[in-house]
Structure 1
């Protein structure tokens, strides 16, 4: 990062601390709290909002902040989903960068951002730095760091530092999803939630009340539902209005280590008025296996090999299906065994089928 002196020493120390997070067996809230301790002195922010995300879609599915009250969080969700703003999490990710500041994205005119006008400035902040936490398997989380106006805009070396830290945070959040054991009890089955246009609960069925508690955000918000449910609902509304929206469900894990798929669907009819239903269904082993393989840090090719083995293919079948030699398959298999900590195909199958995790 080209830093010298005490500032450079502090930055390198922070990055080294971030690098070690993935090996400490932390949960996601613990990762964020530790990252806060490491980054606050060097990024010089006054508030931060942390998010985990569905690695496949990049949609945030939880929120955590020890600085903000989140009393207008429902507005933040709508801005994130509906406004084509500057330096959004998807735009940062699609640019190939891992961090961006609002002052830089607006060329020093942050008032051009609707997010700045309606949220950041009214909350008393002068600049925002956003980072996306990508690692093997997708985007595992993201964060927005705010600072007071008297600090001035974020500097270039701080944006670079945030980008370097983001890579390690992605690995740490990915490692949170390594299976730790099978759940003690069976899932109760799908839950159905009906929401009005402001995402207030109108009705629910099945084990919805219990599930809402298990999906609750680490930090309470002004929403009456978890972030993951609100995101599924808002994107269903976008699709109903003919706007671009992910066509896949939002994947989210509960506090008791179970994966659910959230399917949002807008109601039709003159009286519907942007009402939606969100069906939360337990994910099947086939739907979560790719997540577990990514959590171990397997490359895309290694994941392909592992999935075929788990599904019953032998070495020759894998070689034929993936157009590689049996020797190459064996090399990939050795790497898979090393990363997952197993010594045989049978152990690999048992490990991946366990489910569970630590986030």
Structure 2
């Protein structure tokens, strides 16, 4: 077998390994580390930065990298939110593909991108390959792969392979966010932090210190606080500047399965560019769509499930969604199977409480 055949066989083996991650019962960090082992040789990258994301907005909410220096991570956050660059994660999603290289997006001139000039090139890299990990309508994570300048740009086969791997990684990360029961306990109340320039911590109140520890990134960064808080602050600054944002809030799940909602507000008249970020436990209304998406329900199945939670019976669902009663029953069977329940009561308890298995 020639080198091309060997590469193809290695790539197929890697993809099969990535596909199996969805059923392995792993955490997001474990998914990323195993994916790195499987993909590094076949994608031929020299460094990678992994992120989980708010599935509803696609906003990055954590970072993991064993390769890159995160000593100036505040600049990475700033560029992610403010730079109008080619091949950003949102642009990749809107393009209808899952992976894109910076060299291809800039027609061979990656220096046109601010992040290339300010971060990628100074670190010794010549190209970046980004991939978004979508599944069932949500973006559960993403990654940026870097290639040393001496090795040239990523090739088309690398992009195609990353696109295929990204689909399976979306399903693997979705499975990491299944309800675990952690949402049933009461929380201590809102956590409030005040961030100054470069998103440095100025003050905190309530249970903020404990929550910051629970939501800490897998990799330590120069921010000194979770990426999600810095992203919420930058979204607030964009809003205050009159620029569009996906949403003013960002969602993140803690290690025990609880969802939290972070909302940033720019302080009026603050000379220090300060922002307040309030973190609260997700309400059932906030968490339900995330749980339903995590179970892998289709958009129609989610509509049926939400109506059930609101107290509708089969006849109500049939009327409101304009579908035959037997079609509703078919959707219900699928919903129950995916959620691992046997009745509507069990489904409602699981969704309302983040009910465990």
TM bracket (short chain)? over 0.9
Q: Residues of 2 paired with 1:247 and 1:274: CA distance?
A: 20
> Is 1:132 aligned to residue 153 of structure 2?
no
Asked if structure 2 preserves the Cα contact closer than 8 Å seen for 1:257 and 1:356, the reply is no
Superposition TM-score, scaled by structure 2 size: 0.96
Could you report, residue by residue, the CA deviation over 1:270-314 in whole angstroms, capped at 9, with x for unpaired residues?
A: x43421100101111221011111111100000010111122110
Q: Residues of 2 paired with 1:357 and 1:81: CA distance?
A: 35
Asked if structure 2 preserves the Cα contact closer than 8 Å seen for 1:176 and 1:357, the reply is no
Q: 1:352 to 1:183 in 2, by over 3 A?
A: closer
Q: Residues of 1 paired with 2:47 and 2:356: CA distance?
A: 29
1:127 deviates by 0.8
Q: 1:182 to 1:204 in 2, by over 3 A?
A: closer
> Is 1:75 aligned to residue 75 of structure 2?
yes
Q: Residues of 1 paired with 2:137 and 2:293: CA distance?
A: 5
2:16 corresponding residue in structure 1? 16
Q: Residues of 2 paired with 1:223 and 1:182: CA distance?
A: 27
Q: Residues of 2 paired with 1:238 and 1:179: CA distance?
A: 32
Specify the SS of the correspondent of 1:194.
Answer: strand
Q: Residues of 2 paired with 1:44 and 1:173: CA distance?
A: 23
Could you report, residue by residue, the CA deviation over 1:192-249 in whole angstroms, capped at 9, with x for unpaired residues?
A: 1111122111111110111111111000001022100000000100111111123341
Alignment of 1:31-180 (within 5 A): 31-180=31-180
1:183 deviates by 4.7
1:352 corresponding residue in structure 2? 351
Once the two structures are overlaid, the 10-residue window that deviates more, 256-265 or 40-49, is 256-265
Q: Residues of 1 paired with 2:248 and 2:312: CA distance?
A: 28
Q: How many pairs were matched up?
A: 355
Q: Residues of 2 paired with 1:12 and 1:176: CA distance?
A: 24
1:357 deviates by 7.6
Alignment of 1:228-239 (within 5 A): 228-239=228-239
Once the two structures are overlaid, the 10-residue window that deviates more, 212-221 or 245-254, is 245-254
Asked if structure 1 preserves the Cα contact closer than 8 Å seen for 2:182 and 2:256, the reply is no
Could you report, residue by residue, the CA deviation over 1:33-62 in whole angstroms, capped at 9, with x for unpaired residues?
A: 010011001001110000000011100000
Q: Residues of 1 paired with 2:356 and 2:48: CA distance?
A: 25
Asked if structure 2 preserves the Cα contact closer than 8 Å seen for 1:22 and 1:173, the reply is yes
1:331 deviates by 0.8
Specify the SS of the correspondent of 2:49.
Answer: strand
Superposition TM-score, scaled by structure 1 size: 0.96
> Is 1:325 aligned to residue 307 of structure 2?
no
In the alignment, structure 1 segments of 5+ residues that lack a partner are none
Q: 1:231 to 1:315 in 2, by over 3 A?
A: same
2:278 corresponding residue in structure 1? 279
Specify the SS of the correspondent of 1:179.
Answer: coil
1:220 corresponding residue in structure 2? 220
> Is 1:309 aligned to residue 279 of structure 2?
no
Specify the SS of the correspondent of 1:126.
Answer: strand
Q: Residues of 2 paired with 1:181 and 1:244: CA distance?
A: 35
Alignment of 1:332-351 (within 5 A): 332-351=331-350
Specify the SS of the correspondent of 1:234.
Answer: helix
Q: Residues of 2 paired with 1:356 and 1:250: CA distance?
A: 22
Q: Residues of 2 paired with 1:173 and 1:255: CA distance?
A: 13
1:184 deviates by 7.1
In the alignment, structure 2 segments of 5+ residues that lack a partner are none
Asked if structure 2 preserves the Cα contact closer than 8 Å seen for 1:19 and 1:168, the reply is yes
CA RMSD in angstroms comes to: 1.5
Q: Residues of 2 paired with 1:331 and 1:237: CA distance?
A: 46
Could you report, residue by residue, the CA deviation over 1:13-48 in whole angstroms, capped at 9, with x for unpaired residues?
A: 111111111101100000000100110010011100
Asked if structure 1 preserves the Cα contact closer than 8 Å seen for 2:177 and 2:253, the reply is no
Asked if structure 1 preserves the Cα contact closer than 8 Å seen for 2:27 and 2:176, the reply is yes
Q: Residues of 2 paired with 1:296 and 1:122: CA distance?
A: 42
